[in-house]
Structure 1
Amino acid sequence: MPDAGRIVLATGGSLGDLHPFIALGRALQSLGHKVGIATAVDYRDKIEAAGLTFHQVGPSIADLTRDTGMDLSALTAAIAKSDRFLFGDILLPRAEDAARQLIAVTEGAAAVVGSTLAIGAQFAAEHWRIPCVAVSLQPTMVFSRYDPPFLPAAPWLKPATSGPQLWLNDLTRALGRMSTARWTAPMNAIRASLGLPQTKDNIVFDAGRSADLYLGLYSPLLSPRQADAAPNFAVVGYAAYDSETGGPSALAPDLEAFLKGGPPPLVFTLGSAAVNIPGDFYVESLKAARRLAHRAVLLVGPDGDQTLAKADAKIHVAAYAPFSLLFPRAAAIVHQGGIGTVHQALSSGRPQLVVPHLGDQYDNAARVVRLGCGRSLARPRYRSDTVAAALRALAEDPLVSARAEAVAPQVRAQDGAAAAAARISALLRPS
């Protein structure tokens, strides 16, 4: 296959941020492009196992814990507590170094594709005068006036097409734009240091609008393209990837044996970010499963307590399992609401109980509920009695089960990676 041009994908964050970019990279590679992913060194092995080139850009987890003086748990908790900490203390102070790294990596590239948190992608594209593609992995970052995100700090935001609610949405967006305008000056200082012109774009509310192409890499069932979207924006569907080795995934033999040994279990997971701040999630989950006399799988993460339910034949504890293989065999899925976990749960056709911990998870949870595929439970209320009651209500609600089963094939039919790759590749073809 002829070389269709080298493309660099830039992303950062948890596995929920990385996996869609791996899926996209492989789809672009199938179209003849040479593809590399620019991100923290922590993901080198996973990227290379997927057959893609790794480029080191941005700080590693070790760098961040050293610089902040926090361990991973404290760092995650700080990010969960405040978006200002994420942008003001983590992203912006390191944005110039990351941008310079990305500029070096993209020399000779045909295009740059960056997540909305990969600030340097637009800078690198402008520096080399090559196309820039922006990617939002969740509706939260698009922030439509008609379909605004659910935010704990602004619970009055709701979908609207006219009237007082739309006015309230617009007022809230205007106030949000004012409160985040403080980051425009630091961004322009970085731009000046790179020899780029000044911008009036807001780092949050204008993300993607200056790109040549802006893609929503999430299911339109969560939020279709809205009327106020930027002209360059399209929702193309979720880009699924669920492998540790780059090849087909498989369940661990002991987990496979457990699943075959009885009725479908409850599955409890906190994904790959919130698992760093579990609190008593797994202890209360275990108690809830026992209250219900139900089999359960607890995915506690690499640093979790895998002896939590030692010698209990009805409970299986593991660090990790491929969601795409485990979730369809669950009775119900209890999770944190990360966008990758939400898509895998929707694909499984199983009811969900979403317990948001940070960032976009609150909005993702609200969209799962709105879609009719599950319920949401606030983290402070996560106690075994309330969890058991919520799971019992899910099991007794035929409408939720029917809706989850109906939505699943629609989500599985989406191939956001292929759709995005086709649009990106078309952008590079001579007109």
Structure 2
Amino acid sequence: MKLLLAATPLTGHVNPLLAVAQAASERGDEVVVTTSEDFRRKVEEAGFRCRPYADDHGPEYRETALPPGPERGRREFERRFIDGMPRQAELLRSLIAEERPDVVVAGSMFLGVLPLLLDSRKRPPIVTVNVSFLFLDRPDGAPLGPGLPPARDAIERARYAAIKAEVDAAFTDQVRAYTDAVLARSGLPGLPASLTQAILTLPDAVVQLGVPAFEYDFAPLPPQIRFVGALPPPAVSGPRPGWWADLDRARRIVLVTQGTLANADFGELVEPTFQALADRDDVLVVATTGGRPLDAIRFPVPANGRVATFLPFGDLMPRLDALVTNGGYGTVIAALQAGVPVVSAGLTEDKAEVGTRVGWSGVGINLAANRPDPQTLRRSIDAVLDEPGYRARAQAMAEEFARHDTPREILSVIDAVRQMHPAGRRDPNGPSC
């Protein structure tokens, strides 16, 4: 079988697709990857042929002329993900004609698949890998984004409905209208639902990274969506940091990370975490810069602190006693896969939703703040270290992850859509795998 993998050019989106590529290659499939030129080397070093494209809507998507707020957030989202959709679709059609893949596998925010899914022209089957939380429309009527836990009663549902009306007016409806206008310029029909709903319901199949225990009750799920657990963390090239042996001598190990996207200001989370635990001789605090140079850390690192640009999460996570994160979905599920309790901060991108799930599921504490203070962090970290309930629930979550053979399950979904839709679907409302 030949697969064409399409990845949004962000580290947290490329890595899962490369893990899928590795699993497919190991069983003998031919794999071609398309992502931006910036990730070409990463793809080729992983052993795959890359057909890169120019990510014209990536580096300059920030709307710095607008003040922080809903309008700026909406416009940045449109520039980052929607403006490039027609060019991505043209790229996919060209690559499909040249490469003749049996199946296209795309990350959930690679929106170039949407024009193909809405078009009546023949295409290969399309499988989406969702690298974020399950962003379906909520059955309790809550909007996506603010990080609201499931409604407990009719009063809360009514409150959520009012909040959703505001979010829809400021963001959801405008994003849908903007997307429909972009589609119309290509002669295509508009979305059948909100953009997030369409991303997870239009493809022939959707593999959802994670487990149901970390998600709200969306039963019944659309038939094409399947939870598959967690993919293995990416390997880190190069030697381990010189301080790696210190992990063997540490009584307790805490990792703090702001991921690879919201890491422009380490004063938001990394610095206050170091400050919170600076006087502790019973805790080793490890930080990763998410690929930024070490001199981006512009504050004193305490004696019990260690820093690296990247760390091998596959080796590190099982050794941790706690994770402090700004709520990156991939990092959180990697910790839960290892049974590690979480302190989550962060309100940008999808992080408010991820943090709320951390608190709601009982696997950790949600601080719901972009810049928590050291005192709050210290109390929260002590709680997840000392109160056994957090680790017990994280370990129960790990047992659920362990029941999945994620690479095999994803490949089985790919095989199924190829058999059911060998030439792709003409009707976007037709049956799905």
TM-score bracket, shorter-length normalisation: 0.7 to 0.9
Q: Secondary structure at the match of 2:314?
A: helix
Select the residue among 219, 222, 228 that pairs with 2:214.
222
Q: What is the rounded CA distance, in whole Å, between the counterparts of 1:202 and 1:281 in structure 2?
A: 33
Letter in 2 for 1:298: A
Select the residue among 317, 336, 342 that pairs with 2:326.
336
Cα–Cα, structure 1 residues 373 and 202, in superposed 2: closer, same or farther, change >3 Å? closer
Q: Secondary structure at the match of 1:240?
A: coil
Q: What is the rounded CA distance, in whole Å, between the counterparts of 1:353 and 1:292 in structure 2?
A: 18
Partner residue in 2 for 1:182? 174
Cα–Cα, structure 1 residues 147 and 50, in superposed 2: closer, same or farther, change >3 Å? farther
Cα–Cα, structure 1 residues 406 and 255, in superposed 2: closer, same or farther, change >3 Å? farther
Partner residue in 1 for 2:227? 235
What is the Cα deviation at residue 128 of structure 1? 4.0
Following superposition of structure 1 onto structure 2, how do residues 174-213 of structure 1 map, counting pairs within 5 Å? 179-213=171-205
Partner residue in 2 for 1:296? 285
Partner residue in 2 for 1:113? 105
Over residues 39-74 of structure 1, what are the superposed CA-to-partner deviations in whole Å (9 max), with x where a residue is unaligned?
A: 2222222222222222223516xx64357587xxx9
Select the residue among 115, 125, 131 that pairs with 1:137.
131
Q: Is the 8 A contact 2:233 2:313 kept in 1?
A: no
Q: Is the 8 A contact 1:12 1:117 kept in 2?
A: yes
Partner residue in 1 for 2:43? 47
Partner residue in 2 for 1:276? 264
Q: What is the rounded CA distance, in whole Å, between the counterparts of 1:190 and 1:81 in structure 2?
A: 19
Q: Which moved more, 1:23-32 or 1:386-395?
A: 23-32
Letter in 2 for 1:295: L
Q: Is the 8 A contact 2:137 2:144 kept in 1?
A: no
Letter in 1 for 2:287: L
Q: What is the rounded CA distance, in whole Å, between the counterparts of 2:351 and 2:306 in structure 1?
A: 26
Q: Secondary structure at the match of 2:33?
A: strand
Are 1:356 and 2:350 matched, yes or no? no
Select the residue among 41, 59, 74 that pairs with 1:65.
59
Are 1:425 and 2:415 matched, yes or no? yes
Cα–Cα, structure 1 residues 353 and 187, in superposed 2: closer, same or farther, change >3 Å? closer
Q: What is the rounded CA distance, in whole Å, between the counterparts of 1:172 and 1:102 in structure 2?
A: 38
Structure 2 unpaired stretches of 5+: 422-433
Percent identity of paired positions between Structure 1 and Structure 2: 23
Partner residue in 1 for 2:427? none
Select the residue among 322, 340, 360 that pairs with 1:370.
360
Partner residue in 2 for 1:24? 20
Q: What is the rounded CA distance, in whole Å, between the counterparts of 2:25 and 2:142 in structure 1?
A: 34
Whichever structure has more helix as a proportion of its residues is: 1
Q: Which moved more, 1:209-218 or 1:223-232?
A: 223-232
Q: TM-score, normalised by structure 2?
A: 0.83
What is the Cα deviation at residue 168 of structure 1? 5.5
Q: What is the rounded CA distance, in whole Å, between the counterparts of 2:239 and 2:140 in structure 1?
A: 42
Are 1:287 and 2:272 matched, yes or no? no
Question: How many residues are treated as equivalent by the alignment?
Answer: 414
Q: Is the 8 A contact 2:44 2:50 kept in 1?
A: yes
Q: CA RMSD in A?
A: 3.3
What is the Cα deviation at residue 346 of structure 1? 0.7
Are 1:102 and 2:92 matched, yes or no? yes
Q: Is the 8 A contact 1:219 1:414 kept in 2?
A: no
Q: Secondary structure at the match of 1:324?
A: helix
Q: Is the 8 A contact 1:80 1:359 kept in 2?
A: no
Q: Secondary structure at the match of 1:236?
A: strand
Q: TM-score, normalised by structure 1?
A: 0.83
What is the Cα deviation at residue 10 of structure 1? 1.8
Letter in 2 for 1:134: T
Cα–Cα, structure 1 residues 31 and 79, in superposed 2: closer, same or farther, change >3 Å? farther
Q: What is the rounded CA distance, in whole Å, between the counterparts of 2:55 and 2:293 in structure 1?
A: 21
Q: What is the rounded CA distance, in whole Å, between the counterparts of 1:103 and 1:326 in structure 2?
A: 41
Q: What is the rounded CA distance, in whole Å, between the counterparts of 1:264 and 1:151 in structure 2?
A: 34
